[in-house]
Amino acid sequence: MIYLDYAAATPLSKKAKQAMLPFFDEKFFNPSAAYLPAVETRKDYENAKDEIAHVIGAKGVDLVMTSGATEANSLAFAAVDEDAEVLISAVEHPSVLENAKRKNWQTIAVDQTGRVDIVDFKRKLTPKTQLVSICLASSELGTIQPLADIARVISEERQRRALNGEKTPLYFHSDASQGLGLLEVKVARLGVDMMTINAAKVYGPKGIGALYVGHSVRLKPQNYGGGQEMGLRSGTENVPATIAFASAIADAEKHINSERKRLAKLRDDLRKKLVASLGEDKIIFHGKAKTQLANFLPLSLPGLDAERLIFALEDKGVYLSTGAACAASKGEKSPTLKAIGLNDTEIAGSLRITLGRPTTEEDIEKAAEAIASVVKAEQDRLTK
């Protein structure tokens, strides 16, 4: 099997798996209980939160642990009023888009690479805007957003409001799930008030994520019960997954520079091989390498049906996707690909190839051969 869909899911690392195993049996205690073994489990849990937070330049008390990025994104929108004016980029994950649709929302335009148009952002930012949510990196294109530049515009608007005695709050949220483990992700440097992270993108377990919440932000609880996570997310803590998350994110941070270089080389090799086999005029590559995650190679093969290609590649043991897994599963045309100006034919032929830690040079060689073979077979079928 050659798996090339690491933007959708990563396998659990051996270190993360080993770290979490004791908390299923010998350290299984509920961390809210008062007896000593439970108190020890509570300490382990809080230490794990501190380790996760340290990677993003925060403290454990700044994190609200969630069931993943989708819940964390939803929780971020609980910082603003029901009828709040919010801005999101045109390339956001569905979990941001669907929350925005429940508010008074607008999208910020992007260029052909999927990068936010700062001029359009300034035009749409009004005195009534309460929340701006822009991903660190697009889950379909891998395009890295200029968050620090956006944060400066937001800071200027806050200063203007303060000078004019305006009380409307303005928060900046980013879903950093896709960039975690591939980029330096520090909340202060990025200038965010809230940030979503997700274990499943850094070789941790599925079903565990977190929302960083700055001290100025006041969130409304989304469920009620025992008051865990500062009363914002009641329910017994998922201790094993949190422990594994801490192990996975720390390991990813340790190897971030070497892994980024390795993945960029493999990606560039795959691109060259595909161009050599199929011809540069037959492929549209999305985004620019300089402003794109090192493991992303999104592309379009105009005139072909990407779903047919995916099924044919599966028969050859090569697994990749047409885009964000949740959008692709519903058979919808990608809003992200529309936003960068692709027509229906180009969208229909779009593939998202993403590499990961287990990807080897041999995988790239075999994947290139398989993709070229399947594409040529489909082209021949259509010309008969």
Give the pLDDT of residue 384: 75
Give the pLDDT of residue 330: 56
Residue 139: pLDDT band (50, 70, 90) is: very high
Give the total number of structural domains in the chain.
2
**Mean pLDDT of the chain, nearest integer:** 94
Q: Which residue has the tokens 């849990």?
A: 45
338 and 233 in one domain?
no
Give dist(CA 49, CA 267) in Å, integer.
Answer: 33
| Domain-ending residue, one of 203, 222, 254 | 254
Find the mean pLDDT for residues 268-281.
96
Any idea of the CA torsion for 146, 151, 152, 155, to the nearest 10 degrees?
Answer: 170
Find the mean pLDDT for residues 191-201.
97
264 and 245 in one domain?
no
267 and 152 in one domain?
no
Give the pLDDT of residue 323: 65
Give dist(CA 206, CA 137) in Å, integer.
Answer: 20
Give the pLDDT of residue 227: 74
Encoding tokens for residue 367? 């994947």
DSSP conformation class of 60: G
pTM exceeds 0.85 for this model: yes
136 and 41 in one domain?
yes
Encoding tokens for residue 364? 């790239």
Q: What is the CATH number of the domain that holds 263?
A: 3.90.1150.10
82 and 179 in one domain?
yes
Q: What is the CATH number of the domain that holds 229?
A: 3.40.640.10
182 and 54 in one domain?
yes
133 within 8 A of 96, measured Cβ to Cβ: yes
Find the mean pLDDT for residues 143-150.
97
Domain encompassing residue 376:
2-10+256-383
Encoding tokens for residue 61? 């008390």
Question: Percent helix, strand, coil in the chain (nearest 5)?
Answer: 45, 15, 40
117 and 216 in one domain?
yes
42 and 6 in one domain?
no
Percent residues over pLDDT 70 in the chain: 97
- The 10s digit of each residue's pLDDT in 291-314 is 999 999 999 999 999 999 999 999
187 and 89 in one domain?
yes
Give the pLDDT of residue 333: 76
| Domain-ending residue, one of 229, 254, 279 | 254
Query: What are the φ/ψ torsions at residue 49 (nearest 5 degrees)?
Result: -60, -40
- The 10s digit of each residue's pLDDT in 50-78 is 999 999 999 999 999 999 999 999 999 99
For residue 280, give Cα distances in angstroms to 58, 215, 284, 292, 299.
45, 50, 8, 20, 12
In the predicted structure, residue 177 carries a pLDDT above the cut 60: yes
Find the mean pLDDT for residues 207-229.
87
Pairing of strands 350-354, 296-300: antiparallel
Give the pLDDT of residue 20: 97
Give dist(CA 253, CA 268) in Å, integer.
Answer: 23
191 and 68 in one domain?
yes
Residue 226: pLDDT band (50, 70, 90) is: confident
| Domain-ending residue, one of 217, 235, 254 | 254
Flag the least confident range among 197-201, 278-282, 350-354: 278-282
Give the pLDDT of residue 64: 96
267 and 248 in one domain?
no
Q: Provide the annotated active-site residues.
A: 326
Residue 329: pLDDT band (50, 70, 90) is: low
194 and 163 in one domain?
yes
Residue 286: pLDDT band (50, 70, 90) is: very high
In the predicted structure, residue 45 carries a pLDDT above the cut 80: yes
Give the pLDDT of residue 332: 67
Pairing of strands 296-300, 171-175: unpaired
Find the mean pLDDT for residues 113-130.
97
Which residues neighbour 376 within 8 Å (Cβ) at sequence distance 6 or greater? 277, 278
Give the pLDDT of residue 190: 97
Residue 228: pLDDT band (50, 70, 90) is: confident
- The 10s digit of each residue's pLDDT in 19-36 is 999 999 999 999 999 999
Give the pLDDT of residue 325: 46
Give the pLDDT of residue 231: 67
